[in-house]
Structure formats: structure tokens, C-alpha cells
A and B are shown apart, each in its own frame.
Chain A
Amino acid sequence: MNELPQQLVNGLLLGSMYGLVAIGYTMVYGIVQLINFAHGEIFMTGAFGAFTVYMYVLPDGTSMAIALPLMLIGGIIVAVLVAVGAERFAYRPLRGAPRLAPLITAIGLSLALQQGVWAWYPDATSALKFPQIKGGPFEIGNVTIQTGDIFLMIAAPLSMAILAYFVMRTRTGRGMQATAQDSDTAKLMGVNTDRIIVIAFALGAAFAAVGGMAYGLKYGQIDFRMGFILGLKAFTAAVLGGIGNIYGAMIGGIVLGVVEALSTAYIGDIPGMDKFGSQSWADVWAFVLLILVLLLRPQGLLGERVADRA
């Protein structure tokens, strides 16, 4: 049986999850030129927020149809609060400082969030079982779609459409574009850039929370370390697509996901490469792709180079 369509779908789904998280990296970078390395942990707190709603807020036996939207809202609220708090208390005091300072802060914050969840969240020292949607899996032709991925299939394109509408069509979105291109001049137009920065962090966190929820449904469990490797992947996706470009983040995520899926499926078949095709090598191929892009097209797939004549 031809498994290529299945692998492409797997890659697309995985990639759209990367893309959801990558949006946060790319937006924050686009506005304040900061790589928020704690963003992976914001994704993680989003998943834990959703889990908390299910576990401790909703009564036992609530149907998933009711639970899912409430969990999503809970996850988004928690992630947004963490991100906005991080911006206010960790990054804002360092604005104007040399770039190394906020970068180190981000790494410190990332560790603090991981360890905080590990130490204080009930039973979080090991993986927690995430609630699952019943039914399925679904067969379309010879492609199987796991029930847990249905959420991702709906949420990812919807999120992207909402984001595109917001950035292109709303006043705040245009203010955001202006701030990304030239922050001082945006101020001269009347854009409150401090507010735009907070909005960028909050939006990025909201999409990360959608990704965190998707992760829990997809893999059936969450843990305090889940944001580390996924954060790195999402960052890779953002760079791949052209950091600062929101469409690039989604496309970079999808390319990365597809490359991972195809590498697991096919690299082992190449004569002499049988060792390198396993799941554990997928991460390696993902980062090989990153290195190639950085070498051959450092501005990323959608990175723009508009002549900036003075």
C-alpha cells in the first residue's frame, strides 16, 4: 500500500502544531527583536491550564463536547497571563539593554516555569494523562486520522485565519505591522507601541495554548518538559519560514512537520541509511533542515528583502 498520503497528512498535522507555536516566536521577534525562549514553556502552561480546567474545575464525567471549549479557554487564559506577566516583569525592565540580557532572562524564565510546574503542580513530576475525545479513528481513502488530531485540523487553519484577519484588517493589526517595521516612527503615527508589545505576547501565547491543547489530545499526555523540544522545533519553524513573518511561521511549521514525517518513513529505506530512519532521528533531520536553510537562505522561506533606499 502506498503510504505517502498518510505520511504527508501526519506531517501536515504535526507541522501545523509547530506552526501554532511558531507564531508566538515570530510575532514577538518581529516586534521587539527578542527570541522568547520561554515560549515553549508558555505552550506547556497552556496545556496545563486546559488540563486544570478538566481535572479540577469541571465536574467528573462532563462530556468532551462541553469540556473542550472550556478547556481551550482555560488554557488560553493561563498562557496569556504567564506571557503578559513575563513581558511586564521580566522583559520590559530590560528594554534597551544589550540583547544578551533578555536572552538570558528568557532561558532563566524557561527553566523557572518548567521547575515551577514540576515542583508545585499536583503529580506533575511524571506525565499526566490528558483527556481524550472518544470515537474514531477515521478513515479517508487509505489515510487514517486519529481522533485526537481532529481538533488540530480545525483549530490550526481557523487560528491562522483569525490571525491574518487581525493583522491585515484591524487597526491594532496595522499598528502592529508598523511597530514591527519601524517602532519609533510607529509612535509618531500615534501607535501605543507598549500596548502593541503586550498584544504580541498575548496573541502568541493564545496560539501556543491552542497548540498545547492539540498536543495533549494528540499524544494523550502532557508533562512539564513538553515545551522544551517542541519550543525548539517551533523556533526552527519560525526561522525556516522567515522570522518575523506570521505566514512564514505556519509554512515553516508545515515544512518541518512533513520533513520529519517523510524522514521517519523513507530515509531508512535508502541503502546504507537504515540506521537513520527511526523516529529518534526525526529531530536530527529537522535540525539538519534548519542548518541548510540558514546556509542557503538565511532570511527563511518567506523572509523579505525589500530595497530600503534612503
Chain B
Amino acid sequence: MANYGYQGAYSTTNYGAQAGAQEGGGFMSGSQQGSQENSSKTYGQESLRPVTIKQIIDAQQPHPEAEFKIDGSDLTQISFIGQINSVTKRATNILYKLDDGTGLIEVMQWVNSDVDPDTVQPTAKEGEYLRIFGRLRSFNNKRSVTAHMIRPITDFNEVSYHLLEATAIHLYFVRGPPDSINDGGVKADPGTGMFVDSYDGAANGAMGASAKKLPAKMSAGAKTVFGLLQSAPQSNEGLHVHSIAAQLSMTSNDVFKAGDELLGEGLIYTTVDDETWAVLEY
């Protein structure tokens, strides 16, 4: 939708005190990593956080003019949804009161006077859901959001989606990142990383120990074959499929399947030919 040219005025109002810092501050760090502990204003660290209206109302402001914080992390841009409680059209702006079931907040959208009134999008009505992108402000102890963009929600599932996303981000800040799901195989398990250990445990032929280091989704066959490749005496050419099949009393077909899995994960490699494998170690 429309983009309103109010940025300049807005910045000076809110960040007047930091005008000096603002000039150079924007790109000083050049870092994309949001370091939340950093109390100095770093305009290069803008983020867009999905929130509920209750979070907006509960956001802390350590001192007037300071950045708002939710869950201890600075708020810059926010995004939320809400059902329109009331709309007030004024000469220079439109004021919405939005309710998302968690609270009520005023959202102000500047009206762009340059735009031909005839082409202006019709104002949303009471009861409709809107998606807001904006910035939280406090004026005379009253919180409101200045919207950068407002668009109507046409698919109600976006409301569910947003509330779940806001929950996920809240939990991210409160509890830290979720445990990485071990779908990449080797990489995701730093404690028993395959490429730092060199399978010492497996040298004893202890199948259990070696199996532990394999990604959990490996089939039993793959684990067995891997265990044998680690423990069986062999030249640096590794073992041939038929030899593996004979030692484990498996069919060649099963050994090939297991081999494919292990090859796919980069746990073994082919040596003299496609049917001779050795454990990838360094």
C-alpha cells in the first residue's frame, strides 16, 4: 500500500537527543548480528518482530525516549494483527483502535496529502482484521503505534499464523533457540561431532559406542555395516561389499542399501571401486 513520507519528521521527534549518533551510527557496526546487550543505539540493527498487542502494552521502557524492550530485547519495527474496534479519520492521519484478543492499541497511519483522493484505497471498517507493520511510540505516557504499512487480512489463517509466530519468537527470547533438529546428520550434534572424534570408542569393536555417533535416523543395517567397517581388520582399501555381506551374514542387497545411506551421509567413501568402502576418517 501507500508509503508515507514522514520518516524525517518522525526521526527528529523521537530521536532528537541522539541526532549526532544517528548520523554516523547507522552503519558503524556493519554487523548483521543483533547484539541485544548493546545498549547504544545502533540503527544498523533494525529488526522486525512479530508481537501480540499485550506484549506491546507490557513492553518496558527503561527511561523516557529509550528504546522499548520486550523479553529484554530492543524493539525496533514490530508487526502484528488486530481486529478493528474503531476508525477515526482525521485531516492528516487515520487512527485505528485494534484488538487482537490480547489487548487494545491505537495505530496511527499518516495520510499522504499528495495522493489524489480519488485513488486512495477505501478505509478499512470495524470488524475487519488488519496486518500492521510499524513502530511503537509513547506520547504523554500513552502508547501507540505509527504504522509504516497497513494491509487488510484476507485469509483468516494469517491471524493464527501470526499469533503462533509471536509465541515462537517470545519463546526464542525467553528460552533461547530451540534444540537443533538433527536433520543434517553429522553437523547438528556438537557433543559427539563425527569430525572431531576419530571413533576411538569403536576401535574396541564396541558396536554400541560407534552406533551412538551415527545420526539417529540411520537404519539398523547401516549402523551394523558402519560398525564392521570401523572394527574389522582391513587394508586402506577398506572392505568389499561381498566381504561385508559374508562377515555380517547379510544379503548383498541389504549391504548396498546400508552403503548408500552411509555414503549419502558422507560417513564412508568408495575406494578402489564402487563396491569397496572405507570409513571416512581424518
A binds B: no
Chain B interfacial positions (CB closer than 8 Å to A): none
A residues neighboring B (CB under 8 Å): none
